[in-house]
Structure 1
Amino acid sequence: MEVQVESAGGLLRRLHVTIPADRFEREFGERMKRFASRARVPGFRPGKAPLKMIQQQYGADARNDAVSELVRTTWPQALDQSKIQPASQPNFQVTAEAVGQPLTYVASFDVYPDITLGDLSTLSLTRPQVEVTDADVERLIENLRKSRRTLAVVERGAQKGDVVALDFEGKLDGEAFQGGKSENAAIEIGERRFLPDLEDGLIGRSAGETFDVEVNFPADYRNETLAGKKTVFTVNLKDVREPRLPEIDEEFLQAHGIEEGGEPALRVKCREALETERNKAVSARLKREVMEQLHDMHPIDVPSGLVAEEVERMRGETANRIGANNPAQKMKPEQLRAMLPAEMFEPAAKRRVALGLLVGEIINARNVQFDPARVEAALANIAADFEDPSEVVQMYQQRQDLMQGLRSVVIEEQVVEALVAGAKVTDEPMSLEDLLKSQNQAQPA
């Protein structure tokens, strides 16, 4: 068997494989014998029909089977002979398949890029220094109380913090516009989930009133026909409800897992939860900085096949988030591709693939071995969020794909920690609120 390697530009390689004519003919002959042994030809007993007649009827099928079998069995040998490691599944093209002549085919695929790591000690990182304060704990407790609040109807003018029910209709130059009308809308005054002028115009108004509110749309409003325009909303205020927070009593404490120790125990639990959240956010921020600088430091070509696989993975993640894979309304693959075209994901997919290759190179260069104890701890943390942790642990342990994914996450964390340890790190004082806000706004690394 003859194998020639062609570099087709970038990471694309073509393997030209030639299989000797006698081997192709033997494989074809074996296929023909099988067809002849079971062929049913009118006027002849099974297996007794003339070979020429069998060839006329089954020759094309026998040739196709022989070609498929030879490509399948010789492809690994050709790879071994060429000493090339593909980064993606190959595309095969048979270029000659006449029985009695050599069989030739071309396999096209991407290879992994050659990566030369830069000086990773030049990484310059900013590490937030965040103290969990009493005010942070109070804010969390207040949020816990708000999550269990009740709403009581009040006979007074609406105030900031009240929840009101209303009908409204907006008009621009006296004409109603699309999206400007709603019935039984609920607005929590001060949350700024509606137009600020509309929310502010509700303050002091009582249930049963009908009135107009002048609303100025922001200049950068997403609807260009309304951006920067002055409108008038006619409002029918139906009721005003005042939020009432529960007392921190025995029932409230038990609802948050506090059986003993009363309110002080709740504060301790809240502080511990906030410290855990802080530690995760600091780690995530450092990881994001490391990955950004690692990516910027190493501009590399990425295999198109791996990018395509990552695009499909990201499309699937997005489809799950928006419910497009819901069995009740699952979309066909072509519909999903039309709604979520590859172009949406390709830049992020290329970045993910590049970072995966760079992290893999660091793992090999520094001989990083994943820590089994950390894998167990990570699994325990995941399971702790479920009602039956042991069931989750068992599920992971029975699924190699889940365990491999967990090991990948852990070893990536180890790589990041090693890079942080060798980098120039500047500590930056920051409030917990600002840290968490920046974390929510940040894109995943």
Structure 2
Amino acid sequence: MQVQLETLSSLERRMNVALPLSVIDAQVAERLKRAARSAKIQGFRPGKAPMKIVEMNYGAQIREEVLGEQVQQGFYKAVSEQKLRVAGYPRFEPVAEAADAENFRFSAVFEVYPEVKVGDLSEKEIVRPLTPVSDAEVDKTIEILRKQRTRFSRTERAAQEGDRVIIDFKGTIDGVAFDGGTSENFPFQLGQGQMLPEFEAGVSGLKEGETRNVEVSFPEDYHGKEVAGKKAVFEITVKNVAEAQLPEVDADFAKALGIADGDVEKMRAEIRKNVEREVKRRLTARTKENVMQALLDATEIELPKALIQMEIGRLMEQARRDMEARGMKVKDMPFPPELFAEQAERRVALGLILADLVEANKLEAKPEQVKALVEEFADSYEEPADVIAWYYASPERLEGPTSMVLEDNVVEFVLGKSKVKEENLAFDVLMGNNA
């Protein structure tokens, strides 16, 4: 086998390979013999057809298979000998050289992995957010749990903030009804921002059976473009007003949250534990994001186009599956690759940087680290032992926890090399203003 390597750019290479035709011909002949033993050819009993007839029927296909295998094997053997790290898949092209009757020649165009050199991290300032969990955060969480269990009871008084109302409404613009402007038995809760402020203000103060005309100005950036920036008049009739009733924080409430004996203090302790776990998870994610950005900022790296295209393909398929899981029909929906390009580039860059850091600094996930993380996962379930057993029943199931531990090791390594600035982060901000 003859190999010639050309450098097309900093990452792109062309490898020209010559394979002896004698080797290819010998393999084709051997496979034809094997095929002849069981070949079913019209006019001959199985295995009795002359070799020339077998070759006429199967020769082209077998030769194509042998060539494909020899090209693959020849390429990867040459790559191994040259000690090249191929990024993505090569593009094979035949080379026509009539003067060479002894070799089958082909070329392979491919990219190699770039050299990764992480820059100086000692001057990088990385923010590590801190969010303490106090009784106030536990109380906020309990309030959320109470609101999730809100019941509504009919009242004869006028509607006010917090009430659930059921209304009929008909909207017109310049006296003409418009799409989406009419509904019957429409429920919503006042004060939750479900409707435009002017609309809610018009409903507030009405009793069951009362009607009011309300003028509403749609914002310029309103999602319904046909009404954006226009004024509408809504005739609103209230059909039901119901007062919100939150459950008391008592034994029944505790039992509803899974505390068998209804002990409120046990309930608070369990809620605190869950809140602390979620706060830790979110803080870890934010710190990890800050570390990853610091690594990207500190490292200059040229990315193989093949890896970016592969990652774009993965992201597109993931988006398609996510949308299908939500019941959306996306079979023929186009997914422009450019929408995923930036995310793909970031993921490829981080993958290369992390792989280099792990190998250079021996940051691989240790079995005891993976076990500790799995046990942490399991602790939030009723039967932790069953969850742990599930993870360890298959090596594939441990891939997720192992990757997380590996990333955590990188995070701790980078924080140890850089300037860490601890900043307090409000609980409500950390939780996405859901509290």
Among candidates 344, 348, 352, match of residue 339 of structure 2: 344
Does residue 382 of the first structure (1) align with residue 377 of the second (2)? yes
Q: CA deviation at 1:347?
A: 1.4
Question: TM-score, with normalisation over the residues of structure 2?
Answer: 0.89
What is the match of residue 283 of structure 1? 284
User: Is the 8 Å Cα contact of residues 169 and 236 (structure 2) preserved in structure 1?
Assistant: yes
* SS of alignment partner, residue 28 of structure 1: helix
User: Is the 8 Å Cα contact of residues 302 and 350 (structure 1) preserved in structure 2?
Assistant: yes
CA distance in 2, matches of 1:97, 1:58: 26
Does residue 7 of the first structure (1) align with residue 7 of the second (2)? yes
Q: CA deviation at 1:124?
A: 0.9
Matches within 5 A, 1:22-101: 22-39=22-39, 51-95=51-95, 101=102
- Classify 1:258/1:432 alpha carbon distance in 2 versus 1 (closer, same or farther; 3 Å): same
Could you tell me which amino acid in structure 2 is paired with residue 370 of structure 1?
A: A
CA distance in 2, matches of 1:125, 1:324: 37
CA distance in 2, matches of 1:43, 1:224: 74
User: Is the 8 Å Cα contact of residues 146 and 245 (structure 1) preserved in structure 2?
Assistant: yes
Does residue 356 of the first structure (1) align with residue 357 of the second (2)? no
- Classify 1:374/1:53 alpha carbon distance in 2 versus 1 (closer, same or farther; 3 Å): closer
* SS of alignment partner, residue 108 of structure 2: strand
What is the match of residue 183 of structure 1? 184
* SS of alignment partner, residue 433 of structure 1: helix
**Could you list the per-position Cα deviations for residues 238-261 of structure 1 after superposition, in whole angstroms to 9, with x for gaps in the alignment?**
211111111222221122233468
User: Is the 8 Å Cα contact of residues 319 and 325 (structure 1) preserved in structure 2?
Assistant: no
What is the match of residue 251 of structure 2? 250
Q: CA deviation at 1:44?
A: 6.1
What is the match of residue 165 of structure 1? 166
* SS of alignment partner, residue 118 of structure 1: coil
* SS of alignment partner, residue 290 of structure 2: helix
Q: CA deviation at 1:97?
A: 10
- Classify 1:82/1:169 alpha carbon distance in 2 versus 1 (closer, same or farther; 3 Å): farther
- Classify 1:423/1:164 alpha carbon distance in 2 versus 1 (closer, same or farther; 3 Å): same
**Could you list the per-position Cα deviations for residues 408-429 of structure 1 after superposition, in whole angstroms to 9, with x for gaps in the alignment?**
1111011112212332222323
What is the match of residue 146 of structure 1? 147
Q: Which runs of 5+ in 2 are unaligned?
A: none
User: Is the 8 Å Cα contact of residues 3 and 81 (structure 1) preserved in structure 2?
Assistant: no
Choose 36-45 or 100-109, whichever is displaced more.
36-45
CA distance in 1, matches of 2:17, 2:156: 86
Question: TM-score, with normalisation over the residues of structure 1?
Answer: 0.87
CA distance in 2, matches of 1:298, 1:372: 30
CA distance in 2, matches of 1:137, 1:35: 75
Q: CA deviation at 1:155?
A: 0.7
CA distance in 2, matches of 1:68, 1:283: 49
Q: CA deviation at 1:399?
A: 2.8
Does residue 202 of the first structure (1) align with residue 203 of the second (2)? yes
CA distance in 1, matches of 2:42, 2:227: 80
Does residue 315 of the first structure (1) align with residue 316 of the second (2)? yes
What is the match of residue 425 of structure 2? 430
- Classify 1:276/1:393 alpha carbon distance in 2 versus 1 (closer, same or farther; 3 Å): closer
- Classify 1:134/1:40 alpha carbon distance in 2 versus 1 (closer, same or farther; 3 Å): closer
- Classify 1:37/1:428 alpha carbon distance in 2 versus 1 (closer, same or farther; 3 Å): closer
Q: CA deviation at 1:331?
A: 5.8
Does residue 265 of the first structure (1) align with residue 260 of the second (2)? no
Q: CA deviation at 1:297?
A: 2.5
CA distance in 2, matches of 1:204, 1:44: 96
Choose 12-21 or 380-389, whichever is displaced more.
380-389
* SS of alignment partner, residue 115 of structure 2: coil
What is the match of residue 443 of structure 1? none
CA distance in 2, matches of 1:54, 1:340: 48
User: Is the 8 Å Cα contact of residues 25 and 100 (structure 1) preserved in structure 2?
Assistant: no
Could you tell me which amino acid in structure 1 is paired with residue 182 of structure 2?
A: K
* SS of alignment partner, residue 345 of structure 1: helix
CA distance in 1, matches of 2:262, 2:57: 87
Q: Which runs of 5+ in 1 are unaligned?
A: 441-445
Choose 296-305 or 187-196, whichever is displaced more.
296-305
CA distance in 2, matches of 1:331, 1:241: 40
Does residue 294 of the first structure (1) align with residue 287 of the second (2)? no
CA distance in 1, matches of 2:68, 2:337: 31
Could you tell me which amino acid in structure 2 is paired with residue 148 of structure 1?
A: R
Q: CA deviation at 1:48?
A: 6.0
- Classify 1:131/1:183 alpha carbon distance in 2 versus 1 (closer, same or farther; 3 Å): same
CA distance in 1, matches of 2:379, 2:197: 41
Q: CA deviation at 1:351?
A: 0.7
Q: CA deviation at 1:373?
A: 2.5
CA distance in 2, matches of 1:295, 1:353: 11
User: Is the 8 Å Cα contact of residues 24 and 100 (structure 1) preserved in structure 2?
Assistant: no
CA distance in 2, matches of 1:262, 1:340: 53
Q: CA deviation at 1:84?
A: 0.8
- Classify 1:43/1:158 alpha carbon distance in 2 versus 1 (closer, same or farther; 3 Å): closer
Could you tell me which amino acid in structure 2 is paired with residue 107 of structure 1?
A: A
**Could you list the per-position Cα deviations for residues 338-368 of structure 1 after superposition, in whole angstroms to 9, with x for gaps in the alignment?**
3433332221121111111111111122221
CA distance in 2, matches of 1:394, 1:405: 15
What is the match of residue 129 of structure 1? 130
* SS of alignment partner, residue 3 of structure 1: strand
- Classify 1:296/1:232 alpha carbon distance in 2 versus 1 (closer, same or farther; 3 Å): farther
Could you tell me which amino acid in structure 2 is paired with residue 7 of structure 1?
A: T
Matches within 5 A, 1:228-243: 228-243=229-244
What is the match of residue 18 of structure 2? 18
